[in-house]
Amino acid sequence: MKITQEEVDYVALLGRLALTPDEKEKYLAQLDDILKYMDMLAEVPTDDVEPMAGPVELYTPLREDEVTPSLPADEALANAPARWGTAFKVPKVIE
């Protein structure tokens, strides 16, 4: 095993996932497989290769600093389960 039960619990916590014991078993095995694939990739010699995060040699385009219209109030808040004026209303987030 490349991964422990505790690590699965920790990753689930970080991802805000509530997993059942069965799901934890299932994901433990799946994550373990993924890590094994990574080990296989690590066998490829890459000492002479520059690290890259994407397959294309492109750079991010930039936009001019120009203001464009924002959403109207009702659209900005269309998905809000609760609102107060034009603010989103959420359960209190500090003690």
Binding footprint of other proteins on the chain (CB under 8 A)? 14, 16, 53-54, 56, 58-71, 73, 76-77, 84-95
Please state the closest distance from residue 21 (CB atom) to other proteins, in A: 23
Closest CB to other proteins among residues 44, 56: 56
Closest CB to other proteins among residues 40, 56: 56
Residue 86 in contact with residue 92, Cβ under 8 Å? no
Q: How far apart are CA 28 and CA 33, in angstroms?
A: 9
Residue carrying the six token digits 């290769």: 49
Closest CB to other proteins among residues 45, 91: 91
Residue 31: Cβ within 10 Å count: 16
Closest CB to other proteins among residues 48, 64: 64
Please state the closest distance from residue 74 (CB atom) to other proteins, in A: 11
Please state the closest distance from residue 81 (CB atom) to other proteins, in A: 12
Q: How far apart are CA 90 and CA 43, in angstroms?
A: 48
Residue 88 in contact with residue 80, Cβ under 8 Å? yes
